[in-house]
Structure 1
Amino acid sequence: MDATVKEPSMFDLPEWAGGYPPEEKPTEPKPRLVGVRFQRAGKVYHYSAEGFDDLKVGDWVIVDTARGKQMGQVATFKPPKDKSGPYKRIERRATGRDMAMRHYYESKELEAMIACRAESAALNLPIKIVRAEYSFDGQTLTFLYSSDQEERVEVGALREAMSRLYRARIETRQISPREVAKILGGMGACGIEERCCSRFLTEFSPISIKHAKEQNLSLNPHDITGMCGRLRCCLIYEYEQYVEARRHLPKLKSMVGTPMGPGKVVEILHLRDSARVKIGEGPEAREVEFHREQLVPLEEWKRLQEKAASGTCDRHAHGACDCGRGEPRKAEASPPTPPDELPPAAKAFIAANEAQPEQERTRPNRAKQRERKQRRERRPTDIGRHQPRATDADGEGSAQRKRRPLLRRKPGK
Structure 2
Amino acid sequence: MGCSSCSTGKDGQPKGCKNNGTCGTDGCNKLTVFDWLSNMSLPSGEKPFDFVEVRFKNSRKEFFQNTENLSLSIGDVVATQASSGHDIGMVTLTGELVRVQMKRKKEDFKKEDYPKVYRKASQKDIDTWQKCRNREEEIKKRAREIAIILELQMKISDVEFQGDGSKATFYYTAEDRVDFRQLIKDMAKAFGIRIEMRQIGYRQEAQRLGGIGSCGRELCCSTWLHDFRSVSTSAARYQQLSLNPQKLAGQCGKLKCCLNYELDVYLDALKDFPSQETRLFTEKGLAFCQKTDIFKQQLWFSYKDEPANWHVLSKDQVNEILDKNKKKEKVPSLEGYAVDNVVEEKVVFENVVGQDSLTRFDRPKNKGNRNRNRNKNKSRANNNNTSGGNKRKNNTRRKKNTNRKAKPRNE
TM-score of the aligned structures, taking structure 1 as reference length = 0.53
Label 1:126 to 1:182 Cα distance change in 2 as closer, same or farther (>3 A): same
* Equivalent in the alignment of 1:227: 251
* Equivalent in the alignment of 1:76: 93
- 8 Å Cα contact 1:265-1:278 kept in structure 2: yes
RMSD: 4.2
Report Cα offsets for 1:229-273 as digits up to 9, x if no partner: 222222222223322333365655779xxxxxxxx9976655x5x
Q: 1:129 aligned to 2:156?
A: yes
* Equivalent in the alignment of 2:191: 166
- 8 Å Cα contact 1:102-1:136 kept in structure 2: yes
Report Cα offsets for 1:202-223 as digits up to 9, x if no partner: 3332222232233222223222
- Aligned counterparts, 1:77-156, within 5 A: 77=94, 78=97, 79-80=100-101, 81=104, 82=106, 84-86=108-110, 88=114, 89-148=116-175, 150=176, 152-156=177-181
TM-score of the aligned structures, taking structure 2 as reference length = 0.53
> Percent identity between the aligned chains?
27
* Equivalent in the alignment of 1:34: 52
Give the aligned residue type for 1:35: E
Q: Is the partner of 2:80 in helix, strand or coil? A: strand
Separation in 1, partners of 2:215, 2:125: 39
Q: Is the partner of 2:216 in helix, strand or coil? A: coil
Unaligned segments of structure 2, at least 5 residues: 1-43, 280-287, 334-411
Label 1:269 to 1:163 Cα distance change in 2 as closer, same or farther (>3 A): same
Separation in 2, partners of 1:299, 1:43: 57
Separation in 2, partners of 1:248, 1:160: 62
- 8 Å Cα contact 2:324-2:330 kept in structure 1: no
Q: Is the partner of 1:75 in helix, strand or coil? A: strand
Separation in 2, partners of 1:226, 1:75: 28
- 8 Å Cα contact 1:265-1:276 kept in structure 2: no
2:269 to 231, 237, 245: 245
* Equivalent in the alignment of 2:298: 276
- Aligned counterparts, 1:365-380, within 5 A: none
Larger mean Cα displacement after TM superposition, 204-213 or 100-109: 204-213
1:45 to 62, 68, 79: 62
Separation in 2, partners of 1:117, 1:172: 13
Separation in 1, partners of 2:317, 2:53: 48
Separation in 1, partners of 2:322, 2:70: 61
Label 1:169 to 1:248 Cα distance change in 2 as closer, same or farther (>3 A): same
* Equivalent in the alignment of 2:201: 176
Separation in 2, partners of 1:285, 1:209: 28
Report Cα offsets for 1:314-356 as digits up to 9, x if no partner: xxxxxxxxxxxxxxxxxxxxxxxxxxxxxxxxxxxxxxx8997
Aligned pair count?
270
